[in-house]
Amino acid sequence: MTSRKLFLAAVLMLGLSACRTTTPPNQPLAARPPVARQVAHVTKLHGERLVDHYYWLREKDNPAVLDYLRAEDAYTDSFMKPTKSLQEKIYGEMLARVQEPDDTAPYRDGDWLYYRRTEPGKQYPTYLRKRASTNATEEIVLDMNAMAVGKEFLDVGVTEVSDDGNLLAFSTDETGFREYTLYVKDLRTGALLSEKIPRVDSAAWAADNQTLFYVTEDDAKRAWRVWRHKLGENTDTLVYEEPDALFTVEVDRSHSKRFVYVAIGSKTTDEVRYLRADHPDEPLMILTPREQDHEYSADDGGDLFYIRTNDKGRNFRLVTAPIADPRHENWKEIVPVRDDVSLDDFGVFSHQVALIERANGLPQIRVYDIGTGASHSIEWPESAYAVEAGDNAVFDTNVLRVTYESLTTPHSVYDYDMTTHERKLLKQQVVKGGYDPDRYQTERIFATAADGARIPISLVYRKDLKRATGNPLWLYGYGSYGLPTDVWFSSGRLSLLDRGLIVAIAHVRGGGEYGKRWHDQGRMLTKRNTFTDFIACAEMLVARHYTDPQHMAIEGGSAGGLLVGAVLNMRPHLFKAALLEVPFVDVINTMLDESLPLTVGEFEEWGNPKVAEQFTYMKTYSPYDNIRPQAYPAMLVESSLNDSQVMYWEPAKYVAKLRATKTDSHPLLLKMNLQPSGHNGKSGRYDALRDTAFEYAFILTQLGIEQ
């Protein structure tokens, strides 16, 4: 998110006295939990006075703020010091399961096969390619480890290769703030060209291998302008600018490579513009003008556009339109809206369309034959799983690249022949150390919400675990933006399962497990369903004797941190410990600040507190605003100073207010990464493993497991 305007001069003069301690003086200095000074900041809204005593923590350049954050880190380090040996043990276990070196399954794009390699001791992957022929010489596309020398953080965003395979447009972020700079590399020589374009969000090549379209962000990090760039030229042409702050813009090349698409969308409304990739200087055309609440996306094949649209129902249908005249009256339906199946996405090939659907709360891929109109679904053997379309860069093919995994099946890459229905396993994640999936049991059970909704819960545990009250259990939840929380495999998770933990995922409303209706029932003025669903899941796990409140830990990150924060205010005694990662907990203050990234665009997800009804509803659940004097479980709250999606001050303020308000003596830790890092933490894979070991050690020790 963007930086804030300076607050009151009085706050800036707080200086080093911004922190005080209340711990008895005979404790070690680092062991004294810091307590932030309270300075009243008043916001008047809808006839109410909202008093925020920790508003001053927003001042990133104020030395007192950094002093406070350092004090929190010192306290966290001191508290966690006795767990160092456990952290090292867990880290060693997780690392020992990783296959090194390792290559991803190559995928074809043009005349080349592209893949990535990880090597022992190196934090980042190397992007590689070789010609799609036998005995071809391997070439380096990007060596992230070389690029990261002298840097504490590195993330790669855009990676787009020109049609002739000679040029790579790529972008990097070196701070964690999601501020990417675009470069162009000549893959024949390895040299960088003169291009260096800041604040780029997406990019796509035209067919001439010389024209590059890219999108830049405004001051609130909203992707809003599309530019046309000719290699070697200093002046770029503005192709499109989106004036409505509810909407963001993305540029992409169609699967057939025939068109360049500009997708313009809010949380509820879409518009697609396009031009022919071999005529990059032509103006953009509109496929169909935006209408409020009409969501649609497009791809092309032959003489037709294929359009996924919700014009006839929330679960979407698929239609075609002639490229020569794509007006709405010319649309022809090929896949209708279905009440029990949601069409989430699709991909057009020369002879088939791959339909990405959801049925019974699970993802599925169905293949539609363009010539015959027949369709079939790809079957999978497990009752709960995750399946997605993989790297599919070739248009004229019958082969669909698919990825599959479950709570017990490692990430697997398949090539699926859409004509013969044959499936070929190309690569499955190697788990070293003798991993045997038959040692573990998975279940899919359902809790019943107060309104009768059935909420799925996915579980995994050791088969030799004795089911009885008192089993430690780790419950995860998210439930926002219509994003489904499909199950995933984690070799690191084995360090929990082998210590006797049950790991559970609550598929609460607000996500997309059952399509758009599931999302609708957990956003805006129904958002509280997300939290009560999660509580219903926890209560059912206790009632069914999977665990009890003294042995249950919960976790959520970002919008999932909002979930955990709200649930802890509502039912704190139901849990023993909680992990909140980069939590979105200060809902009202954040949604009042339209200068922040994400704020305006998310008025259609959370609401706008300037609207009285939406403010009143938000106030019933916003975690920061609902902290009250009561006992809370042990808590670890994590954030990054450079996070641009949930600003650091949200978790910092949340911890400060909790520490001053709660009535218990349970641990409350804030781990603030003050070095370059982002919303997803540190960028290096070994660093990420150490962070996971830290989190595991906290939860395990709070649940009474110290080995």
The catalytic residue positions are 558, 643, 679
Residue 17, token pair as written in the block: 């006295």
- How far apart (Å, rounded) are the C-alpha atoms in residues 339 and 321? 24
Task: Give the N- to C-terminal CA distance of the chain in Å, as an integer.
Answer: 40
Q: Considering only CA atoms, which of 442, 474, 496 is closest in space to residue 94?
A: 496
- How far apart (Å, rounded) are the C-alpha atoms in residues 487 and 583? 21
Question: Could you tell me how many helices (H) and strands (E) the chain has, helices first?
Answer: 12, 41
Q: Which residues contact 235 (CB under 8 A, 6 or more apart)?
A: none
DSSP states along 97-160: TB-SSEEPPPEEETTEEEEEEE-TT-SS-EEEEEESSTTPPPEEEEEHHHHTTT-S--EEEEEE
Q: Considering only CA atoms, which of 416, 360, 408 is closest in space to residue 388?
A: 416
Supply φ then ψ for residue 319, to 5 degrees. Answer: -130, 165
Q: Considering only CA atoms, which of 704, 702, 699, 703 is closest in space to residue 90?
A: 699
What are the C-alpha distances in Å from 339 to residues 367, 384, 516?
A: 19, 21, 11
Q: Give Cα 12 to chain centroid, integer Å.
A: 34
DSSP 3-state of 619: coil
What are the C-alpha distances in Å from 642 to residues 172, 590, 679, 705?
A: 15, 16, 8, 33
What are the C-alpha distances in Å from 177 to residues 198, 218, 682?
A: 13, 14, 12
Cβ neighbours of 414 (radius 10 Å) = 21
Q: Which residues contact 278 (CB under 8 A, 6 or more apart)?
A: 206, 207, 208
